[in-house]
Chains A and B, each alone.
Chain A
Amino acid sequence: MDMIKAQNVSYKYIRRDEEDRIVEEITALNNIDLHIPKGQFVAVIGHNGSGKSTFAKHINALLLPFDGKVFVDGMDTSDETVLWDIRKKAGMVFQNPDNQIIASVVEEDVAFGPENIGIEPEKIRERVAEALKIVGMEKYAKHSPARLSGGQKQRVAIAGALAILPQCLVFDESTAMLDPVGRREVMNVVKKLNKEEKITVIFITHYMEEAAMADRVVVMDRGKIVMDAAPAEVFADSEKLSALGLELPQAAQLAQELRQAGLPLCADIIDTETLVEAICELEKK
Chain B
Amino acid sequence: MSITVKNISYHYDNPGSEHSGRQVLCDISVSFDRDSFTAVIGPTGSGKSTFIQHLNLLLRADQGDILYDGESIYAQGYDRKKLRSRVGLVFQYPEYQLFETDVLSDVSFGPKNLGLPEDEVRKRASQALLQVGFSEADFHRSPFELSGGQKRRAAIAGVLAMQPEYLILDEPAAGLDPAGRRELFDMLGELHKKGGVGIILVSHSMDDVAKYADRLIVLNEGRILYDATPAEVFSHGKELESIGLDVPQAAKAAQMLRNRGISLPEGLITMEQVKTAILDHFG
Give the B-binding residues of A (Cβ under 8 A): 46-50, 95, 104, 144, 146-147, 149-151, 173, 176-182, 184, 206, 208-209, 242, 245-247, 250-251, 253-254, 257-258, 261, 263, 272-273, 275-276, 279-280, 282-283
Say whether A180 contacts B177, CB under 8 Å: no
How many Å from the CB of B29 to the closest CB on chain A? 24
Query: When the two chains form the complex, which single residue of A179, A257, A275 contacts B244, counting CB atoms closer than 8 Å?
Result: A179
Say whether B18 contacts A247, CB under 8 Å: no
A66 to B278, CA, bound (A): 53
> Does residue B193 face the partner (Cβ distance < 8 Å to A)?
no
Residue of A nearest to B204 (CB): A179
Which among B180, B244, B250 has the highest number of chain A CB atoms within 10 Å?
Answer: B244
Say whether A146 contacts B19, CB under 8 Å: yes
Say whether A206 contacts B176, CB under 8 Å: yes
Closest 8 CB pairs of A and B: A48-B148, A180-B246, A150-B44, A245-B179, A181-B244, A247-B178, A47-B177, A146-B18
Contact flag A206-B275 (CB < 8 Å), given A48-B147, A180-B245:
no
Contact flag A276-B253 (CB < 8 Å), given A180-B206, A263-B279:
yes
Contact with A along B151-186 (1 / 0, CB 8 A): 000000000000000000000001111111110000
Query: When the two chains form the complex, which single residue of A179, A245, A280 contacts B177, counting CB atoms closer than 8 Å?
Result: A245
Say whether B282 contacts A179, CB under 8 Å: no
Contact with A along B32-46 (1 / 0, CB 8 A): 000000000011110
Say whether B44 contacts A275, CB under 8 Å: no
What A residues does B182 contact at CB under 8 A?
247
Q: Which of B54-62, B63-71, B129-137, B256-264 is near enough to bind chain A?
A: B256-264
What B residues does A95 contact at CB under 8 A?
175
Which among B44, B256, B260, B279 has the highest number of chain A CB atoms within 10 Å?
Answer: B44
A180 to B248, CA, bound (A): 10
Contact flag A272-B249 (CB < 8 Å), given A47-B147, A245-B180:
yes
Say whether B271 contacts A253, CB under 8 Å: yes
What B residues does A253 contact at CB under 8 A?
271
Query: When the two chains form the complex, which single residue of A46, A182, A206, A250 contacts B271, counting CB atoms closer than 8 Å?
Result: A250
A250 to B178, CA, bound (A): 11
How many Å from the CB of A12 to the closest CB on chain B? 16
Query: When the two chains form the complex, which single residue of B18, B177, B207, B256 contacts A272, counting CB atoms closer than 8 Å?
Result: B256
Contact with A along B177-204 (1 / 0, CB 8 A): 1111110000000000000000000001
What B residues does A104 contact at CB under 8 A?
18
Residue of B nearest to A95 (CB): B175
A121 to B65, CA, bound (A): 54
A276 to B147, CA, bound (A): 37
A184 to B246, CA, bound (A): 10
A7 to B127, CA, bound (A): 48
A206 to B182, CA, bound (A): 12
Contact flag A254-B271 (CB < 8 Å), given A208-B178, A247-B179:
yes
Number of interface residues of B (CB under 8 A): 40
What A residues does B179 contact at CB under 8 A?
47, 242, 245-247
A172 to B84, CA, bound (A): 36
Residue of A nearest to B173 (CB): A206
Q: Which chain B residues numbered 203 to 260 have a C-beta less than 8 Å away from chain A?
A: 204, 206-207, 241, 244-246, 249-250, 252-253, 256-257, 260
> Does residue B47 face the partner (Cβ distance < 8 Å to A)?
no
Say whether A176 contacts B44, CB under 8 Å: no
Say whether B18 contacts A279, CB under 8 Å: no
What A residues does B83 contact at CB under 8 A?
none
Residue of A nearest to B22 (CB): A147
How many Å from the CB of B142 to the closest CB on chain A? 10
Say whether A147 contacts B244, CB under 8 Å: no
Residue of B nearest to A208 (CB): B178
Residue of B nearest to A241 (CB): B178
Say whether B252 contacts A272, CB under 8 Å: yes
A283 to B87, CA, bound (A): 52
How many Å from the CB of B40 to the closest CB on chain A? 12
Say whether A147 contacts B18, CB under 8 Å: yes
Contact flag A176-B175 (CB < 8 Å), given A48-B147, A146-B18, A272-B252:
yes
Say whether A149 contacts B244, CB under 8 Å: yes
What A residues does B28 contact at CB under 8 A?
none
How many Å from the CB of B255 to the closest CB on chain A? 10
Query: When the two chains form the complex, which single residue of B43, B249, B274, B279 contacts A181, counting CB atoms closer than 8 Å?
Result: B43
What B residues does A178 contact at CB under 8 A?
44, 204
How many Å from the CB of B97 to the closest CB on chain A? 17
Contact flag A280-B260 (CB < 8 Å), given A49-B147, A180-B245:
yes
How many Å from the CB of B234 to the closest CB on chain A? 12
How many Å from the CB of A16 to the closest CB on chain B? 14
> Does residue B149 face the partner (Cβ distance < 8 Å to A)?
yes
How many Å from the CB of B239 to the closest CB on chain A? 13
Task: Knowing that A47-B147, A246-B179, A272-B253 touch, tell me 6 more A-B residue pairs with CB under 8 angstroms.
Answer: A48-B147, A149-B244, A182-B43, A247-B178, A250-B207, A258-B278
Contact flag A47-B253 (CB < 8 Å), given A149-B44, A258-B275, A283-B261:
no
Residue of B nearest to A257 (CB): B275
Which among A47, A173, A251 has the highest number of chain B CB atoms within 10 Å?
Answer: A47
Residue of B nearest to A263 (CB): B282
What A residues does B175 contact at CB under 8 A?
48, 95, 173, 176-177, 206
